[in-house]
Homo-oligomer: A and B are copies of this chain.
Amino acid sequence: MRGLDDTDRDILRLLLEDARRPYSDIADAVDLSAPAVSDRVERLGEIGLIEGFTLDLDRSMLREGVPVLIELRTRPDTGAVADGIDEAEAVEHVFRTAEGTVLVIAHVDQRNVREFLAEHADLATIEEIDVRLLADSEWTPQLGTGELAPECAECGNTVTTEGETATLDGDVYHFCCQSCQSKFVDRYEELAAGVED
């Protein structure tokens, strides 16, 4: 495993601006060959930094109900509530704060928020609901000067430049060291063997 270098960051920045830009153009810009860019983009996808290529839409042009901000205070069951709501259509963002508030950005009929919530979450776990109309929202896709910081799948530590990787059933896992990797893989294989019995 390698960290992000300046070339990776340049490639990301260029793709952030236009994800359909030809790799050969990017190659010129970062002084590399097109195959090299292709390889790097693939690697950035494999490690999970690039989750995909998508569109930046002007959602204000789509009238799918009123944009609202829903703020929920839940009993300490936040994760499940947040996940359930994220499944719903018309939901664009779900933010979960450290102290247990869930913020939802969605397009719904404001008078039906309660109904909407009832369909996707257990109302009993929700202590407080606050709904506000959104006047405006901006999204700024950009890249800081950040370093790459995946977590070790075994011990949770930050994986540095010299970590290990394993692919199990198509999923990629990162490890801070060889021992964490073998420990994890052994346990995984034991589990897989158990299923077959």
- How many angstroms between the C-alpha atoms of A194 and B128 in the bound complex? 57
Contacts of A135 in B (CB 8 A): 78, 96-98
Does A114 lie at the interface of the complex (its beta carbon under 8 Å from any beta carbon of B)?
no
Residue of B whose beta carbon sits closest to that of A143 = B62
Residues facing B in A108-150 (CB within 8 A) are 132-150
The minimal Cβ–Cβ distance linking A101 to chain B, given in whole angstroms, is 7
- How many angstroms between the C-alpha atoms of A108 and B145 in the bound complex? 12
Given contacts A95-B134, A134-B98, A142-B92, contact A148 B17 (CB under 8 A): no
- How many angstroms between the C-alpha atoms of A49 and B63 in the bound complex? 12
List 25 A-B residue pairs with CB atoms under 8 Å apart, sorted by A's residue number: A12-B57, A16-B57, A17-B52, A18-B52, A19-B55, A20-B53, A49-B58, A50-B55, A51-B57, A61-B149, A62-B146, A64-B144, A65-B144, A69-B95, A69-B97, A89-B144, A90-B144, A92-B140, A92-B141, A93-B140, A95-B134, A95-B136, A95-B138, A99-B132, A107-B146
